[in-house]
Structure 1
């Protein structure tokens, strides 16, 4: 194999593509050659959250912008929506601020980045090209460690199980477990944990909050901050059908089909639908959103899968609000959200409150979906800081 001279000029896109390819090769090299032979013995003792592999990485909010942090790319054990073991990748970031005592940990669930492996946060955080890196930096500047999951199938083999709530919730909780088990991070099983996420990350963090009491009760979760939550996928799909956000419907269908192949998405798609969904599986959100916008389900299918009982049942499995989170929740939603209906967020709040959850709900009166996560990030950070400090929350059910 020939490699370019380091002095050869390349476009930024080409450099990022090459770096992602090198990272993927390096990731595959982490697993020892003897791992297959030792598989049976390892499986007997493996736990969700165990670190399978780790390698030094980096964290840059913008290209070349320095941060006083250390980072590691990890692979860790987790669980699919149906309860099978899997392996997920992610990034652990720890401030290098001289702190010697225990520090809090945020397990951070990113919003939609796309379905192609190159979109994975762990492939972009080292180069300053991750969309939410500046938000993550707000928390490292507070002295908090942060672990960012890539979710199932994003950066690891298989198709990303986009919008499959239980899978995402497992990945978020197991990322926290993995961070506390990574010796280099200097964390421990007693580390106080906060769960955060918005949009797709809102669904993932909401599911982590609901699952934590039964799936990861040993984690010292102090609270969950979750915003713009697509709590009911059927209602979100109906809201976006034929609109600006309609591409998200087809991405979600591909994600559900990846988790549950018996749904047979391909059998519902017409030729144009097959081309679009195939491209979405390899692309990032900017391209996917543009390519899929203002299309109706009927434009790309021979029969609407969302009208079928098996699809409705699987989408129903990702609906939030049926279990009260064990720790306090700060939930926020923009009144003018053009992608996730405000009414869906309010219903989730009502469902959680009805089950006895400790919920503080906050309406973002000015703004829309994307701006909500940015403008409200200081309130989110302050709310979580109060939880870490042991101050009483202010539920408004």
Structure 2
């Protein structure tokens, strides 16, 4: 599969204009839905069944273009009038001649370095109107395109285009086409399909940009030969036009059905990976692995056929250089049961000024089912994000841990449809420092009581939520599905402001760093720093502070107790309450393995793979291990517990015993508690009958801390892991009240 970027600079006919196309197999009549009828008739034999199609090979290609100084040729003009005649009438078509270029990108950030690295071919586009320069006139018009590349040959496409004004910024618009690749037996072209993803700034509005990506899937009975093999990585593309940037993500996807309680139809997750193409030809190799670039989640009506509406989210790197998760909604077209195997979607991105996104579009094209004849069985996803105008962007905060990046009101719910009473809440985005010294964005929630000003600030370290973005506490508070809401409410009832970190990777970085305790502890402390900067919360630096947590949150709280004096001395914590603690990770592996929650070993593997990518821990996974981790990364804790009881031994996931994976045992030990003694009072609670986390590890931790001079109040608590948590939390809050009193 391959991706393409085409940028058309309109020099003679007016301001800048850009189009984006995605070409893929389209052999069925259902894909003509919403496309002018003349396109279907022009496609001719594309409506034949797959069995009748000639043997062909499909390839993907990616490129960008700039409009050339050439005048449209007589042949191109004649072809345009031939194909668009039924809708043109006496009108003059809008015509653009273009030069096609491959582009180079950075191997680490995949941002474009040279947009016109090598000229690879020519292109031509004509449309029936409205003129893309008239962004105030939305509507559907016809489009015809011709592309010639050395590694592809000559291809033509025909169909419908749609102009959509961007209401938040007059003078800018999105221009999206769905074109069918025309069969051309003389050149060996069997068929195809085209969609576009274009951001227009035809009036050259200051602080905005124009740009696009073209992605083509072409099926031919014979391919031109080429000896060129220069590779590059066309992942995220940022074009600098009119002093601003428009960002694209052009990736191969790995579609997988998933369970999502919020989706009443069929839920699908597409993991996006960056891919490599050849610099001289823009062709992609058929088989390759790429670096993970993001995730697209979609929810569609069950049994959808033809045209249907879909909603979801996309997570990619945003215009400010940080990962963002954005809602999307739009239309997909799928084949009839006896038609093509291709599905094409055009999705509009919901603006998010706090993330620097003014709007945008996502297009996907690829196989509609696993049995598809589309080469590679993976869709291509193209993301175009229009950044907030430079004059509208907030000044960037100093780059240090705890810096508040953005905040907006959150309608928190105690249950679905039941607003959280007596409190105000904000979803915040702030910086924390990972274990490699880099500043990373993290999200969280700040809650304050309504009745009176807060008397203290408490960092609440949440228990295991899951690995998917939707499991983050801030998302679940908005949905009314957060199982820790009673504990948060109890702290608010005592008059405390509460800062809750979503933890690294839940809604921000590609994966959650599950039970990597030091990273979690830092994110908890930095959420409290960010809460102090939220002016509407009125939390002064003189408020007393404390931290509490249970289970995964107990491990995070334990790390807070160890690192706070050095990492966040400005918070001056008075006390830390630790419950059901993840104290000794190697011991926990042995304790959980083979039990009812053995999926937590896979959660842990996923967390360490995410935090330590340079250790290449994933190479030790078996094929089943890769499948299990991919599935679990899209689950919340309740879904994992319900759907993965067959996972009984971690050994089933790895090529060698887990603790024999090179470097893993050392990392697990390094992330176990006990190496540093806390300097503030610590309450440590654990159940002797805890079936998830070993009691012996908790008692050993209490002894280690006490022997090192720490003030530790160790209390056994009755019950299993869950029921003991209820009792431990109430004891913890009463204990904290003693230490937070004036």
- SS of the residue corresponding to residue 94 of structure 1 reads strand
Residues 325 and 58 of structure 1: CA distance in aligned 2, closer, same or farther (over 3 Å): farther
Specify the alignment match of 1:259 in structure 2: 611
**For residues 58-85 of structure 1, what are the alpha-carbon distances to aligned partners after superposition, in whole Å with 9 as ceiling and x for unaligned?**
3322221441111000000101122211
- Which protein shows a greater Rg? 2
1:304-348 Cα distance to aligned partner (Å, 9 max, x none): 242134111111221111111121101100111000010011111
Distance in 1 (CA, whole Å) between partners of 2:391 and 2:661 is: 44
Q: Which residue of 2 aligns with 1:98?
A: 452
- Work out the CA distance in 2 between the residues paired with 1:322 and 1:341: 19
Matches of 1:209 and 1:20, distance apart in 2: 39
Equivalent of residue 68 in structure 1, options 408, 413, 422: 422
Q: Output one character per residue of 1:220-246: Cα deviation in whole Å (capped at 9) or x when no partner.
A: 311001101111110000111111121
Structure 2 counterpart of 1:393: none
Alignment of 1:167-206 (within 5 A): 167-206=519-558
Distance in 1 (CA, whole Å) between partners of 2:392 and 2:591 is 49
**1:336-379 deviation digits (Å, cap 9, x = unpaired):** 10000100111111111111111101101x31101111122221
1:31 maps onto 2:280 in alignment = no
Which among 381, 387, 412 is matched to residue 59 of structure 1?
412
Counting only pairs closer than 5 Å after superposition, residues 382-397 of structure 1 correspond to structure 2 as 382-389=734-741
- C-alpha separation between the residues in 2 aligned to 1:262 and 1:55? 35
Residues 342 and 12 of structure 1: CA distance in aligned 2, closer, same or farther (over 3 Å)? closer
Matches within 5 A, 1:116-155: 116-155=468-507
1:331 to 684, 706, 719: 684
Q: Which moved more, 1:159-168 or 1:371-380?
A: 371-380
TM-score under structure 1 length normalisation: 0.88
Alignment of 1:247-396 (within 5 A): 247-293=599-645, 294-364=647-717, 366-389=718-741
Give how far 1:37 is off: 11
Helix, strand or coil: the match of 2:413?
Answer: coil
Offset, 1:35: 9.7
What's 2:69 paired with?
none
Structure with greater helix share of residues: 1
Shift in Å, 1:291? 4.0
| 1:292 Cα deviation after fit | 4.0
Question: Is the contact between residue 109 and residue 201 of structure 1 (CA under 8 Å) also seen in structure 2?
Answer: yes
Quote the Cα distance in structure 1 between the aligned partners of 2:390 and 2:627.
Answer: 36
1:156 paired residue number: 508
Structure 2 equivalent of residue 14 of structure 1: 263
Displacement after TM superposition at 1:34 (Å): 6.4
Identify if the C-alpha distance between structure 1 residues 206 and 184 changes in structure 2 by more than 3 Å, giving closer, same or farther: same
Picking from 79, 100, 115, the partner of 2:433 is 79
Q: Distance in 2 between matches of 1:221 and 1:241?
A: 36
Aligned partners of 1:190 and 1:220 also within 8 Å: no
**Number of the residue aligned with 2:226:** none
SS in 1 for 2:573: strand
Query: Structure 1 residues 35, 247: closer, same or farther in 2, change over 3 A?
Result: farther
Distance 1:382 1:27, change over 3 A: farther
> What's the CA shift for 1:119?
0.3
**Secondary structure of 1:218's match?**
helix
**Structure in which a larger fraction of residues adopt strand:** 2
Q: Say which SS state the counterpart of residue 676 (structure 2) adopts.
A: coil
Tell me whether 1:235 sits opposite 2:559 in the alignment. no
1:88 maps to 2:442: yes
* C-alpha RMSD over aligned residues: 2.7
Q: Is the 8 A contact 1:148 1:175 kept in 2?
A: yes
Q: 1:96 to 1:20 in 2, by over 3 A?
A: farther
How far, CA to CA, are the matches of 1:233 and 1:369 in structure 2?
17
Instruction: For 2:664 and 2:351, locate their aligned partners in 1 and report how far apart those are by CA, in whole Å.
Output: 34
Alignment CA distance shift 1:71-1:363 (3 Å): same
In structure 2, C-alpha distance between the alignment counterparts of 1:193 and 1:386, rounded to whole Å? 12
Q: 1:174 to 1:246 in 2, by over 3 A?
A: same
Q: Residue 356 of structure 1 aligns to a residue in which SS?
A: coil
Cα separation, partners in 2 of 1:20 and 1:206, compared to 1, 3 Å: farther
How many residue pairs match? The answer is 377
C-alpha change, 1:371 and 1:24, in structure 2 (3 Å) is farther
Alpha-carbon distance between aligned partners in 1 of 2:626 and 2:740, rounded to the nearest angstrom: 48
Tell me, what secondary structure is at the counterpart of 1:89?
A: strand
Higher relative contact order (CA 8 A, sep 6+): 1
Shift of the 189–371 alpha-carbon distance from structure 1 to 2, 3 Å rule, reads same
**Which residue does the alignment assign to 1:6?**
none
Whole-angstrom CA distance in 1 between matches of 2:665 and 2:492: 40
Structure 1: unaligned runs, 5 residues or longer: 3-10, 391-397
Moved more, 62-71 or 72-81: 62-71
Q: TM-score if structure 2 supplies the norm length? A: 0.48
Aligned equivalents of 1:29, 1:134: Cα separation in 2: 32
Q: Distance in 2 between matches of 1:335 and 1:235?
A: 15
Q: Secondary structure at the match of 1:67?
A: coil
Instruction: Provide closer, same or farther for how the CA distance between residues 387 and 37 of structure 1 changes in structure 2, counting only shifts above 3 A.
Output: same
Cα distance in 2 for partners of 1:273, 1:381 equals: 40
How far 1:28 sits from its partner (Å)? 4.9
Aligned partners of 2:476 and 2:326: how far apart in 1? 12
Distance 1:333 1:29, change over 3 A: same
Instruction: Determine if contact 2:313/2:326 at 8 Å carries over to the other structure.
Output: yes
Is residue 254–residue 265 contact of structure 1 (8 Å, CA) maintained in 2? Answer: no
- C-alpha displacement at 1:12, in angstroms? 7.0
Distance in 1 of aligned mates of 2:427 and 2:634: 22
